[in-house]
Chain A
Amino acid sequence: MRALHLHENWTALRTIVTKEVLRFARIWVQTVLPPMITMALYFIIFGGLIGSRIGEMDGIRYMDFIVPGLIMLAVITNSYSNVVSSFFSSKFQRHIEELLVSPVPNSLIILGFVGGGIARGLAVGVGVTLVSLFFSPFSLHSLTVTVSVVVMTSVVFALAGLINGVFARNFDDISIVPTFVLTPLTYLGGVFYSVSLLPDFWQAVSQLNPILYMVDAFRYGLLGTSDLSLTVSYAIIIGFILGLYLFALTLLNRGVGVRN
């Protein structure tokens, strides 16, 4: 058996990622700009107008406190929605068959789509960060933690978006999870408040929410303040990456949602 050689694999992966990046870049007004405008409104309303009455959160000015969470919110939703919509669209238009008839291994198909999700997540994340500079001074406690957490979180949600895309049979199916699962979990994941404010019971419940760990670790990377253990947060993120990747690979190997 002569599998694609390493350089051929690299060419194939680069082709998929480039195609995915061009896909959202061509329609940047629909993909990159709206989250920046939405986040600007969050900064103005929650940070500026309401935040000035709240005062400090965990010893940090409220506006500064919500910046990491809002950047993470944008990264999570965009990484997810890029992959779910692109993968479902490729099924809907049937051009996923271009990949399925080619010798590209399923692992590379996953990496390619995830690469596109990371690219959009980070592009929007950088955009929202730039918008945040109008409201809050830039702060960076640990470059390594910040970059690793944002990239790995993007991978988690790009993989989740891919799995959603595999199972989706119609356009409703690709909006159900973001609307009814992702957004509530993100809003309850400590974007706007510190979990230490919650009663003990709800603190315990919140700790079942994986997004809480991602937002908290990212906030630590930027501001140096954290409610949770960084090690636990990394372990959870890496665990999700491995679990979701293996699940996605199993689905594609079995042809679920893509092969008859």
Chain B
Amino acid sequence: MSGRSDRIVPLAVKIVVSGGLGVGKTTFIGAVSEIEPLDTEAAITEVSVGVDSLVGVESKTTTTVALDFGRITLDPTIALYLFGTPGQDRFSFLWDDLVEGALGTVVLADTRRIEDCFPAVDYFEAQGAPFVLAVNCFDGAERFDVEEVREALSLGADVPVLECDARERGSVRDVLGALMDRVIGVRTQTARRRPAMAR
């Protein structure tokens, strides 16, 4: 399997972007991705803004193929992939595949429909994988203090909660940076705990 490993194969890492239907996952990914979403993703995007007429047979080929993802070449040897979880419940079986091996997850929330991110929060808490909660600030939506959001979702004090604008590259960058800090923080804690457990 390691044949021809002398060939330089860059490293591919991934971050998962999750949250409820229409919360801005595709927008978030698109704000930093260097690849254009392909046609197959159109169906999912359409669905994610609330057009639910696709439920059923129409999804036969396109939506099962469709993966909402973006790529960022961090340097010549590292490519970062952002994978969006499908917003609809009927695709939740895909989550395990998406999450396996991920560095961490960004859970996007919309304060107008905060409950939409409950399934994602529950899932990633249960996984024990590092995640941050990013409140996508929609125009016209009432602003809440991030601590109020934390409380509403009963998030632990160690889970970063921050505001973002999924349309803004700089804002998305800050969220991803916060996630990486969290990933590193979790890793460092685990490393510290390990020798103690060995005793």
A associates with B: no
Binding site for B on A (CB under 8 A): none
